Structure 1
Amino acid sequence: MVLEVRRHFSPWIALTLIALAEILTLSVWFSATVVSGPLKRLWQLNVTEVAFLTASVQLGFVAGAVISSITGVADRFNARRVFTLAAVGGALVNGLFIFSNSWEMGMLLRMLTGAAMVGVYPVAVKLVTEWAPARRGTAIGMLVGALTLGSALPHLILFVGVSAPWQVVLLASSGLALLGAGIVAFLLPDPPNEARSTRNPPKISLVSLRSVLANKSAMLANYGYFGHMWELYAMWTWFPAFVYASFIIHGEHRGVVASSTMIGFLVIGIAGAIGSLVGGLVADRIGRTAVASAAMILSGLCALTIGLTYGGPPWVVIAVGLVWGVTVVADSAQFSAAVTELSAPQYIGTALTLQTAVGFLITIISINLIGAAKDLIGWQWAFTLLSVGPFLGVYAMLRLRARASSIAMANGKR
């Protein structure tokens, strides 16, 4: 009976449920970041300490991902159960943040939130590839769009409840994460193409990790991802603050907090989701390296030029920001899809976890770099430092395209 449900359950309904669960669960990622203003006043934080409220989530994610990669959790256990438990755990530690009475306690809870997300995003990528193995670019594009919307949701929560206490944002995002866990636990069946390794889990060993590191083509896809991540989360973290400062310099004062919050949601969430979906659809038709390279060239140019709009007309800031919001994440799904296509099936979970672990470790550096750069060289030039990542990523993609093994991507479209 269970097998019949799996066979007749629509893959597109499954993808929609996974994406919805991802949107709701990932709302905990930036929940403390969007209320950093009140926290800065409450705990008397400096710029570096504010930046680490976001970076600590990344740090926790990296630590959890390293452990997951070594133990092979993503390949050894049922993906739905891992997602559900991780989402519940993330919701709980995110909610506990409202009881923090110091920056140090807040940092610890944010790290635990990041560690919980190891069981959410990489595992969700594995789930969608098992539900839609022939349309991985589109499927993972949907998932990255969901991640983007989920990451931006706290901005929308704050906009709706702009005068509410900061604790409301944390509790609301925790409630959404619990709802996401419920969707996966009670509405989504296991995929019919579930990897055999989760049915007959191997013993813990470093074989899977060594196999991933020895795969040169998969590692080139990883290098492209690392360049992409250098730019992505630093842009997501600091763009709303850039908009706020730019509007103030231009002379906009009325409702500037609400305006910058809503623009942050539109640029990060809506534009990013569109970029992810379109990028996935196009990549399945013309190739992963082509789409990823084009997106990184455009996003790198936006990083170089967005500072020139600082203090200028708001519509110019918003226009460039929307282009950046689309292109900065349009390539993201292609790196994950490429790794699933270039890796041995039994090691896909470990490969995705390793990819995200190193990628998020890089974001810790770039997030804090922009926080320092805006004070040292000003908003006009701070974001130019992010352009290095995508341009190096393009180089990795061109090298991958030249390899014979790249024919395995996107049904031979590379």
Structure 2
Amino acid sequence: MSQPTSRSALILIVIAQFLGTSLWFAGNAAIPEISKILGEPELTASITTAVQLGFISGTLIFAILSIPDRFPPNKVFLYSSLLAAFFNLGITLLPLHLFNLLIGRFLVGFFLAGIYPVGMKIAADYFQKGLGSALGFLVGALVLGTAFPHLIRALDLQFSWKFIFWTTSILASLGGILIGWKVPDGPFRKPSPKFDWGVIPRLSKLPALKGAASGYFGHMWELYTFWAFVPALVAYFSSQPTQTAFNAYLSFAIIGVGAISCGIGGLISVKKGSNTVALFSLVGSGICCLILWILPNSPDYLWIGFLLIWGMLVTADSPQFSTLVAQATPSEYKGTALTLVNCFGFSLTILSIQFAQFLQKWLELTQVLSLLFLGPAVGLLLFKIFKNKKEALSPSLPAS
């Protein structure tokens, strides 16, 4: 297999990442029809949580076993894409029961652990300089995929729910084959030669890694809860909340605009550094949380503009914190570190969403989401604490 240039490899990784992560919210796009068939009025939380739990389980196992570092990451991406596509397709082949649906979505999430963080690992193997820009485009592809179900709902396309699952399975398979066939090991890959139980404890001794991870965790506490409640926020502010098509288009725009900010933030990071972009975005999105408290009863142009700005700021720090994680980790353990940080970050999203739903018993929606500022605030504080710690470790991973 001929070695592609860094630029061509990035293009292929971004395309494959988008195709592979199309599986993530395929179930959400099919919810209206599945809900009618099963007689379950509200499946969004259950289906989303099943995928998230699968992803958390997958990333934990992949990290403990150091799979992205011990094995060729393009092969890990390929096999994970094919397996995720298989279990996604399996939902249409088995009798449609809630149990089968949730198990299928859990297994899709499990093998997404070999797609999203491993895609970032492959990008890191091709870029030493400009990694922030590369990951900006990569995460932007995921953000666009996240917004996509809202566009499907807005268009009111009369696709069978099975067609959605078939299509996303084909796309994910193509993405995996693209990586496995066209993107060999990057020039900066340094494989980990053997399994080592002590890798994760030793990674935890790297202050720069702990700082980057802390910022990422603060960002994740806010991100998915914001995304989950975007439709509710739009309906809350809208003067005509029953216009479901308009609200769905607007929800797509508020989430999808984050793909643009990820790309722009990545380009800015080349000159200003990932640290600057990540902190600016984290602080900005935290301020947006607080502004939300005083925003009700605003004219349409004000709250729509505000939510679009928030949608940009809430995502732009994600690829830059991932860049800082990769830069803080020895080459032979980048995949393990990225996967582990993803695991803990996505675990926080479930806690945050459930906490927000719990608080809605007593508080207005805007008040609940205003409290999300605690994530960026704590993340920023811990990031600064670890950054100010004197780096007493050598550039290589400390010995056990």
When normalised by structure 2's length, the TM-score is 0.90
SS state at 2:128 partner: coil
Q: Please tell me whether the aligned partners of residues 100 and 106 of structure 1 are also in contact (alpha carbons under 8 angstroms).
A: no
Q: Provide the C-alpha distance between the structure 2 equivalents of 1:97 and 1:314, rounded to a whole number of angstroms.
A: 41
Deviations 1:310-369 (A, max 9, x none): 575443332112111110011111221111111122111111111001111111111223
1:132 equivalent in structure 2: 127
The one-letter amino acid of 2:317's match is D
Q: Sort the Cα spacing of 1:171 and 1:377 in 2 relative to 1 into closer, same or farther, 3 A.
A: farther
Q: Provide the C-alpha distance between the structure 1 equivalents of 2:237 and 2:162, rounded to a whole number of angstroms.
A: 27
Q: 1:313-332, aligned counterparts within 5 Å? A: 313-332=299-318
2:351 equivalent in structure 1: 365
Q: By percentage of residues, which structure has more helix? A: 1
Q: Sort the Cα spacing of 1:353 and 1:108 in 2 relative to 1 into closer, same or farther, 3 A.
A: same
2:191 to 193, 196, 203: 196
Quick check: 1:263 aligned with 2:257?
no
1:62 equivalent in structure 2: 56
Shift of 1:38: 4.2
Q: 1:18-57, aligned counterparts within 5 Å? A: 18-45=13-40, 50-57=44-51
Quick check: 1:251 aligned with 2:249?
no
1:78 equivalent in structure 2: 72
Q: Sort the Cα spacing of 1:106 and 1:370 in 2 relative to 1 into closer, same or farther, 3 A.
A: farther
The one-letter amino acid of 2:286's match is G
Q: Please tell me whether the aligned partners of residues 234 and 370 of structure 1 are also in contact (alpha carbons under 8 angstroms).
A: yes
Q: Provide the C-alpha distance between the structure 1 equivalents of 2:63 and 2:135, rounded to a whole number of angstroms.
A: 20
SS state at 1:109 partner: helix
Q: 1:11-410, aligned counterparts within 5 Å? A: 11-45=6-40, 50-98=44-92, 99=94, 101-197=96-192, 201-202=193-194, 204-247=195-238, 250-253=239-242, 256-269=243-256, 271-306=257-292, 309=295, 313-374=299-360, 376-405=362-391
Q: Provide the C-alpha distance between the structure 1 equivalents of 2:32 and 2:374, rounded to a whole number of angstroms.
A: 29
Q: Sort the Cα spacing of 1:16 and 1:310 in 2 relative to 1 into closer, same or farther, 3 A.
A: farther
Q: Provide the C-alpha distance between the structure 1 equivalents of 2:91 and 2:302, rounded to a whole number of angstroms.
A: 37
2:398 equivalent in structure 1: none
Deviations 1:62-85 (A, max 9, x none): 111111111111111111111111
The one-letter amino acid of 1:177's match is A
Shift of 1:188: 2.5
Shift of 1:213: 1.7
Shift of 1:237: 2.1
SS state at 1:19 partner: helix
SS state at 2:189 partner: coil
1:412 equivalent in structure 2: none
Q: Please tell me whether the aligned partners of residues 189 and 331 of structure 2 are also in contact (alpha carbons under 8 angstroms).
A: no
Q: Sort the Cα spacing of 1:75 and 1:90 in 2 relative to 1 into closer, same or farther, 3 A.
A: same
Q: Provide the C-alpha distance between the structure 2 equivalents of 1:218 and 1:362, rounded to a whole number of angstroms.
A: 18
Shift of 1:16: 1.0
Ranges in structure 1 where 5+ consecutive residues have no aligned partner: 410-414
Q: Sort the Cα spacing of 1:230 and 1:162 in 2 relative to 1 into closer, same or farther, 3 A.
A: same
SS state at 2:332 partner: helix
Q: Please tell me whether the aligned partners of residues 272 and 329 of structure 1 are also in contact (alpha carbons under 8 angstroms).
A: yes
Q: Sort the Cα spacing of 1:104 and 1:377 in 2 relative to 1 into closer, same or farther, 3 A.
A: farther
The one-letter amino acid of 1:163's match is Q
Q: Please tell me whether the aligned partners of residues 149 and 273 of structure 1 are also in contact (alpha carbons under 8 angstroms).
A: yes
Total equivalences in the alignment: 394
What is the RMSD computed on CA atoms of the aligned residues?
2.6
Shift of 1:377: 2.3
Deviations 1:180-238 (A, max 9, x none): 123212333332223233xxx31x22122122122222112111111111111122222
Q: Please tell me whether the aligned partners of residues 235 and 241 of structure 2 are also in contact (alpha carbons under 8 angstroms).
A: no
Q: Sort the Cα spacing of 1:154 and 1:88 in 2 relative to 1 into closer, same or farther, 3 A.
A: farther
Deviations 1:75-117 (A, max 9, x none): 1111111111111222222233345633332221121111111
Shift of 1:161: 4.7
The one-letter amino acid of 1:73's match is I
